[in-house]
Every structure is written in C-alpha cells, then in structure tokens.
Amino acid sequence: MLPPTDTDTARKAVPCISDGDMKMPVQDTMQQTGTPYVGEELRQKLIGTWELVSYKVEEKESGTFIPAMGPAPRGRVVFTADGWVAFNLEGSHRHPAKNDEERARLMKTLVAYIGRFRVEGNQWITHVQTAWAPEWVGTEQRRTVVVEDGHANVLTPWRRMPNWAEGRLSRSIIRFRRAPAA
C-alpha cells in the first residue's frame, strides 16, 4: 500500500474502477506487494520510457468514471537521467481534423507536457515548461506513483482538467509498462 500523502485521497473513500464486468477499488489499483520505492530509489526506477496501458478518469462528486480517453488510449512518458520528463498521451480513435470543430475535439483527448521533474517521497513532481494547455505552463503537476514488476501505477490528485469533466473535480488513474529496449 502506498504511504499516505497530502494529495492522496484514495484511502478516505473506496471508489471502484469498472473494467468490463469486474469492479475494483481504486486503492487496489495502487497496491504494491513489496516495499514501496521512494525518493532517489523511485527516481532511478522511473528513468526510461514507459508505454500507456490504461487511463481512467474518476469524477469526485459522483464517483463515476468518464470515458475521457476512450477504450484504447496510447502514449508514452519519458524520464531522463538529467531530470526531464516528456508526457504525451492521446485518446482512442483520433483522426486528422478537417475543420476547427474537429481540431477542438482532438484537444479533449490529449494530455501533453514537458518539464523538469523531481521526486518527493512516493510522488514525482513536474515543473511544467510547455504544455498542450497553456494554463499548465509554469505550474507543478504532482503524481503519486508505485513502480513494480515493470509497471508504474499513477494517481493524480483531484483537480479540474481543462479538457474534460466540464470544470468538475476529477482524478486520473493511469497504468504504464516499461517500454522494451530497441
């Protein structure tokens, strides 16, 4: 189990992720059987390229999950040894836009940013230098992470995303696997 943090509210309530017919508490998606990596040890475990496996978004008020990124999102996050992170995730079924309305719709299924990162405890914090959403530039984005068995399970704090949930509080539950070496 992750050590508690100020931004991790998964322990206060036990919302469920619905994955087909199976329901699983969010906190179970963040469990780890061994000792959690923290600090420099976690930082070293993050270095490299990770492929997106799943992306789920939970609305705080209702406890429901919204299909923000669709059934088969894709993307990568790359952590470098010198402290940079590049994060590019996109939703399912994206096609080239033919007009402004379609271009605007594509922005709702994209999360992309680059910045310097550091690790504090069981969280990585990115100081965002460039992003798909201008309001993120200059902010710090905090993510709770558990790395185990070639996977990284990530939980965002509750926040208002610029591209879904219409200004309501939501959080993302994200799973990555380490990308294979070339």
Locate the domains of the chain by residue range: 16-178
> What's the CA gap between 114 and 112, in Å, rounded?
7
CATH number for region 16-178? 2.40.128.490
Read off the pLDDT of residues 54-85 as tens digits, 9 standing for 90 and up.
999 999 999 999 888 999 999 999 999 999 99
So what's the pLDDT on residue 67?
A: 84
> What's the CA gap between 120 and 80, in Å, rounded?
17
Q: Which two tokens stand for residue 8?
A: 């991790």
> What's the CA gap between 56 and 70, in Å, rounded?
9
Query: What is the pLDDT confidence band of residue 33, given thresholds at 50, 70 and 90?
Result: low
pLDDT at 163 over 90: no
**pTM over the 0.95 mark:** no
> What's the CA gap between 39 and 43, in Å, rounded?
6
> What's the CA gap between 41 and 145, in Å, rounded?
12
Q: Which two tokens stand for residue 115?
A: 């910045």
> What's the CA gap between 176 and 123, in Å, rounded?
15
In the DSSP assignment, the letter for residue 14 is -
Read off the pLDDT of residues 117-158 as tens digits, 9 standing for 90 and up.
999 999 999 999 999 999 999 999 999 999 999 999 999 999
In degrees, rounded to 5, the angle at the alpha carbon of residue 14 between the alpha carbons of residues 51 and 168 is 70
In the DSSP assignment, the letter for residue 99 is S
- In a 10 Å sphere around its CB, with 0-12 CB exposed, 13-18 middle and 19+ buried, how is residue 69 labelled? buried
Q: Which two tokens stand for residue 45?
A: 């475990």
H or E element: which one contains 96? none
